[in-house]
Amino acid sequence: MENRLNLKNTEPKAYEAMYALEKYIQASSLSKTHLELIKIRASQLNGCAYCIDKHTRDALQAGETAQRIFLLNAWRETDLFTDEEKVILAITEEITLIHHQGLTDQTFHQALKLFSQNYLAQVIMAVITINAWNRIGVSTRMGVEVN
């Protein structure tokens, strides 16, 4: 598939604004594991090959196991993920698929039992950010680099 345009070159101010949000997420207190699970799962749901490739590689480099990445699509059916990770994955899915029902009260209140409001806010912002990156990747047809 051919790339449509390079947003960074075509609209550098828009890209810089988007990148500023990414820098905020990277500087947040989110664990690397939580952040990569968010990025991979949202990218799977959105069908962004570029982001799936990038973030699975990043997760593996950060020590994530291949088995957990392989089973991420079926996280509800395995005990490989912690309660905290399961809530984060539920938040990721509910926000990414916002047209279904959005972030439910049940998931939100479950998250507040496990995380501070600040950490939960960072999780929500990370989901929003990767969804924006996915939309950039899919709409501009960012390609996957072949090694």
pLDDT tier, 145 (very low <50, low <70, confident <90, very high otherwise): low
Domain assignment of residue 22, given as a range? 12-140
Q: Which amino acid is at 97?
A: L
Is 87 a domain residue? yes
Angle between helices 12-27 and 117-140 (to 10 degrees): 150
Is 1 a domain residue? no
Q: 126: which 2 tokens?
A: 């990370």
Q: What is the pLDDT of residue 147?
A: 55
Is 86 a domain residue? yes
Q: Which helix (H) or strand (E) holds 42?
A: helix 32-46
pLDDT tier, 143 (very low <50, low <70, confident <90, very high otherwise): low
CATH number at residue 99: 1.20.1290.10
**Quick one: average pLDDT of 115-122?**
98
Q: How far apart are CA 15 and CA 125, in angstroms?
A: 17
Number of domains in the chain: 1
Q: What are the backbone angles phi and psi of residue 28, rounded to the nearest 5°?
A: -70, 180
Is 2 a domain residue? no
Give the distance, in angstroms, between the CA of residue 106 and the centroid of all CA atoms in the same chain.
21
Burial of 96 (0-12, 13-18, 19+ CB in 10 A): buried
Which residues have C-beta within 8 Å of that of residue 56, sequence separation ≥ 6? 40, 69
Q: How far apart are CA 31 and CA 54, in angstroms?
A: 18
Using one digit for the tens of pLDDT, what is the confidence trace for 84-112?
999 999 999 999 999 999 999 999 999 99
